[in-house]
Structure 1
Amino acid sequence: MATCGVRRIKLGSQGLEVSAQGLGCMGLSSFYGAPKPETEAIALIHHAIHSGVTFLDTSDIYGPETNEVLLGKALKDGLREKVELATKFGISYAEGKREIKGDPAYVRAACEASLKRLDVACIDLYYQHRIDTRVPIEITMGELKKLVEEGKIKYIGLSEACASTIRRAHAVHPITAVQLEWSLWTRDVEEEIIPTCRELGIGIVAYSPLGRGFFAAGPKLVENLEKDDFRKALPRFQEENLDHNKIVYEKVCAISEKKGCTPAQLALAWVHHQGDDVCPIPGTTKIENLNQNIGALSVKLTPEEMTELETIAQPGFVKGERYFPMVPTFTNSETPPLSSWKAA
């Protein structure tokens, strides 16, 4: 399958093997403007698979739900066995109200619904998308462990979890991967979360490795976003912050020009060079961009070049938060002690 030189890596220490670069499928259905027409979206997914990008990432909240249905349609005709399929649960929009949920009944219902939408018998990697701070992580993990034992999921992951949550979860059942935002303009995870994952043998899946498209297009990205693209409202893309943040982009451009690659390829290569336990999952809606992202695997960076990039994009240099205020992130994912839990 790896016809374009997409190598394979072991993700975590539990046996999961994936393509060294994955495909984030969210933007095909939601959050980044109008959904891609189904035939075009499926063609892009097929192109990724045939190019060796076989690690596909979705969630029940993308759409909501329509992205999983899209993946299910795309994986017909024998393609299911050629991919590593990851999806997520934990963010509910029932009756128009956003709620983070991790109680056992919800975990099981969400998994059953995802299996149905994806039209598969088993999910390769099932993440808790956001941590329910009302439910001890041990309780959520207990239900996920049952789903593994029943053969409905193969491996368990967490997304946007703090180090202590990861440790507590891993003590119940081994965590295969932690998904987190990691790029040249999001480096706060390097302080505690990355070392914790490495200590425990947990793989790292980096989402938004191109800074939500910033390293592909620079400041002009904002001018070209559709009116319902949620990035338009993100703090880092506001004019007062963008004027400052473009300094990083301009310096990355200068280095990429010397390297003979695009700024996006350079930014993505930086993530790849973090280690063989890291798998970035850039998303795109265009085949040409997908091909360009694959090309990042061939960009080799010297230790000096890595240092230069990290000096340009030091933690804390970028202005603006990653998300809106009050959006749950790893910084507030602590859950109550197990002793506090009283089942409903």
Structure 2
Amino acid sequence: MEKLINKKEILDRVRFSEGENFQYDEEAILKEFKIQEDNNSSLAIKILSIFGGILATIAFIAFLLIAGLYNSEIGLVLFGFIFIVSAILLNKIYDKLIIDTFSVSSYVIGNILLVFGLTEMNFDENIISGLICLIAISSLFITQNYILSFIAILTVNCCFLYLITFYHVYDIIHLYIGLSILILTYLFLNEAKLIATNIKISKLYAPCRIGFIISLLIGLIAFDRENLFFISQNNIWLSSITLIIVNIYLVYIILKIIEVKTLTNKLVIYTLTSLILISLVLAPTILGAITIILLSFLVQYKTGLAIGIISFIYFISQYYYDLNFTLLTKSIILFSSGVLFLLLYIFTNKYLLSDEKV
């Protein structure tokens, strides 16, 4: 209750600062905060709720399978649709944490049953993937539940990756990574504009942002697995083109925000940045992690920043492990990269601060 009073005080201050012409729906805003407060719980409770909902749904599915559902392709498809529709309707009608966790598990298992049923009926993979994508996209328009929307974004991207592997067009992964990074950059740099568009987009913004971050990482991890994606070694640099351009653009925006005006400082920063990025042209996974870090830092998105740092450490370790060089050569490569990063850090901390004082 105390939090709601604080929110009301904030609204009163905003109204006072904006003047008498400022209008807002105070009742709707406070109602939304009340819903969030009622459904707020610790991470442990959320994990236990989701785990419990999944167990309950799996138990029910096990009962249906014991009853002979696996012998009926139509039954699998029918119950799959029932689970999916029920999950979407529950999220649309109710706005409670326990309902959310159960509906999400029901949504996932419904998709699994649907895929199994259609596969047993010998449907074409294009039709199955297209139908799953259509259901995922439709759920975004019907309900803007955070977890359900997050799963829907992952579902669409995973279907795309599945088709790449099924048709053995592995080099399309470059297009996947390029589009993912461009969409992610657009989401981060247009946060205020997108949130202010309408209430549905504002609710979808957060799950879409984290959804595309995870989707990009899934694509980068798949890209890095030679036994999964048989990518031509001569074309590895293709994914790096978009990543390098985006990273340089982000550096440009950051320099503009911190008001670096000295031409010498700009040239040094761009030179060091270019050397670092070009040295990683054959490691697009590391470039992708750097992009996530810069985007998250730019908008102060702590979750994305943590994910970016962890993925950066992982991809560097994996790149070091996979290099077909001697231990000495690997050490020299890492040492050189480390020196470039340190020079960039020292310059930005020493000279940019002096530039700001001037």
Normalising to structure 2: TM-score of the pair? 0.28
More helix by share: 2
Normalising to structure 1: TM-score of the pair? 0.29
The structure showing larger relative contact order (alpha-carbon pairs under 8 Å, at least 6 residues apart) is 1
More strand by share: 1
- Is the radius of gyration larger for structure 1 or structure 2? 2
